[in-house]
């Protein structure tokens, strides 16, 4: 979606040079391109219609200010409406509950729930300084419990043992009891997925929700799922009081339409996006930054954050002073610079 929309909008900005005003004709041209880009990106048709109607209403008759061109004004309107469609701003995880705060992970099999559970555990440990316990209620998929054990160890959290012959409800009760007795801040419950929506899955996850009263019920959805994401989202929304969405595989060769469709259907914010297969590949979802990325404006803030995380500021200042003085800069300093890069 990102590249298709970027290419189409860039072409339009060039075509609309010299026009002093946004009018019915140039808005229609632009919206046709935006509509095609969104449909090609597998955004659901009702979502596309609503989006196009909002952009048209805001764009028509808008004056072109100062040195801006009509194309640039239209791109800014599209950017703003994309951010609104994806949820405006940041919506971080809510942990305002008597510890342990229970977080229930829901979604279809293959969406990346188990790995995302460990990524979220790492995020909560590093960014929120929480003591985290994970447990798997997936007694159906071979090695699902072992997978969670492995990725939880990589995340630096604690794993609660369960076995395939146990009932998911019994596992959840035992894990919650253990978390209370050992003063955990957060309990992450990985639930069973299915290859498609079925009533048995929905009944089981509803029972788990009732038993655990989670502070967050997060719907994990594959960004590459395409048009079917809207059906899955609707089914989970009807079965559970969802509080947030985690988009996985956003770094893959996906057209990204799921982000717009799922948010519009469920009405709940996208809280996180999986950005790589690594255990630290999870970032808090910022709708405005994501919209900027889609429109090819670049994500400067994300770049700044990466640099800040990877650079030892004290060492950098020390090195800068050494270079400024003109004495003592050697190959070890040069090596340190290369390693930071």
Q: pLDDT, tens digit, for every residue of 264-289?
A: 788 888 888 888 888 888 888 877 77
Q: When comparing pLDDT for 135 and 27, which is higher?
A: 135
pLDDT recorded at residue 196 = 65
Structure tokens at 30: 């632009």
**CB of 38 closer than 8 Å to CB of 227:** no
Sheet containing strand 158-160, strands side by side: 158-160, 132-136, 186-190, 101-106, 216-222, 244-248, 270-274, 282-284
Predicted local distance difference test score (pLDDT) of residue 65:
47
CA–CA dist 51, 21 (Å, integer): 22
pLDDT over 70, % of the chain: 77
Q: What is residue 266's predicted lDDT score, i.e. its pLDDT?
A: 82
Is pLDDT above 80 for 115?
A: yes
Whole-number Å distance between alpha carbons of 326 and 323: 5
pLDDT of residue 188: 92
Q: What confidence score (pLDDT) does residue 199 get?
A: 80
Q: Mean pLDDT over all residues of the chain?
A: 78
pLDDT of residue 179: 92
Asked whether the predicted pLDDT for residue 85 surpasses 80, the reply is no
Q: What is the mean pLDDT of residues 20-37?
A: 74
Mean pLDDT of 94-100: 83
Q: Which 3 state secondary structure label does DSSP give 43?
A: coil
**Which of 315 and 158 is assigned the larger pLDDT?**
158
Q: In which band, very low, low, confident or very high, does the pLDDT at 173 lie, cut at 50, 70 and 90?
A: very high
Residue 156 has pLDDT above 50, yes or no: yes
Whole-angstrom distance, CA of residue 297 vs CA of residue 223? 21
Query: How many angstroms separate the Cα of 166 from the Cα of each of 37, 134, 268, 313?
Result: 48, 16, 32, 50
Report how far residue 68's alpha carbon sits from residue 55's, in angstroms, rounded to the nearest whole number. Answer: 18
SS3 199: helix
Strand (E) positions, the chain?
101-106, 132-136, 158-160, 186-190, 216-222, 244-248, 270-274, 282-284
What pLDDT score does 63 carry?
A: 52
State the virtual CA torsion across 136, 138, 142, 148 in degrees, nearest 10: -20
Whether residue 131 is predicted with pLDDT greater than 80 in this model: the reply is yes
3-state secondary structure of 97: coil
Instruction: Evaluate if residue 16 carries a pLDDT over 60.
Output: no
| Each residue's pLDDT tens digit, 216-272 | 899 888 877 766 777 788 888 888 888 888 888 777 655 566 667 788 788 888 888
- pTM confidence score: 0.73
Q: Calculate the dihedral angle through the C-alpha atoms of 248, 112, 246, 103, rounding to the nearest 10 degrees.
A: -160
Residue 267: other Cβ atoms inside 10 A: 10
d(Cα 52, Cα 144) in Å, to the nearest integer? 42
Q: How confident is the model at residue 67 (pLDDT cuts 50, 70, 90)?
A: very low
Q: Which is higher by pLDDT, 21 or 277? A: 277
């Amino acid at each position: 979606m990102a590249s298709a929309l970027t290419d189409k909008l860039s072409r339009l900005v060039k075509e609309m040079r010299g026009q002093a005003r946004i009018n019915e004709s140039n808005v229609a041209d632009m919206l046709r391109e935006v509509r095609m880009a969104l449909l090609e990106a597998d955004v659901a048709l009702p979502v596309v219609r609503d989006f196009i109607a909002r952009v048209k209403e805001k764009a028509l008759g808008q004056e072109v200010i100062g040195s801006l061109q009509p194309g640039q004004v239209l791109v800014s309107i599209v950017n703003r409406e994309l951010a609104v469609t994806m949820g405006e701003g940041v919506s971080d995880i809510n942990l305002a509950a008597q510890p342990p705060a229970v977080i229930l992970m829901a979604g279809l099999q293959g969406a990346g729930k188990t790995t995302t559970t460990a990524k979220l555990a790492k995020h909560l440990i590093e960014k929120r300084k929480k003591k985290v316990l994970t447990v798997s209620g997936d007694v159906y998929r071979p090695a699902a419990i072992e997978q969670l054990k492995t990725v939880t160890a990589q995340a630096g959290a604690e794993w609660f043992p369960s076995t395939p012959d146990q009932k998911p409800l019994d596992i959840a009760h035992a894990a919650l009891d253990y978390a209370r007795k050992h003063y955990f801040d957060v309990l992450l419950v990985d639930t069973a997925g299915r290859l498609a929506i079925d009533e048995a899955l929905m009944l089981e996850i509803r029972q788990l929700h009732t038993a655990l009263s989670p502070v967050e019920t997060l719907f994990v959805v594959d960004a590459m799922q395409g048009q079917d994401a809207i059906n899955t989202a609707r089914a989970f929304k009807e079965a559970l009081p969802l509080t947030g969405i985690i988009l996985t595989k956003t770094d893959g060769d996906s057209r990204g339409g799921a982000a717009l469709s799922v948010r519009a259907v469920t009405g709940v914010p996208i809280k996180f996006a999986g950005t790589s297969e690594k255990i630290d590949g999870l970032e808090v979802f910022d709708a405005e930054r994501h919209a900027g990325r889609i429109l090819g404006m670049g994500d400067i803030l994300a770049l700044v954050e990466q640099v800040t995380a990877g650079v030892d500021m004290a060492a950098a200042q020390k090195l800068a002073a050494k270079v400024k003085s003109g004495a003592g800069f050697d190959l070890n300093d040069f090596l340190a610079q290369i390693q930071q890069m």
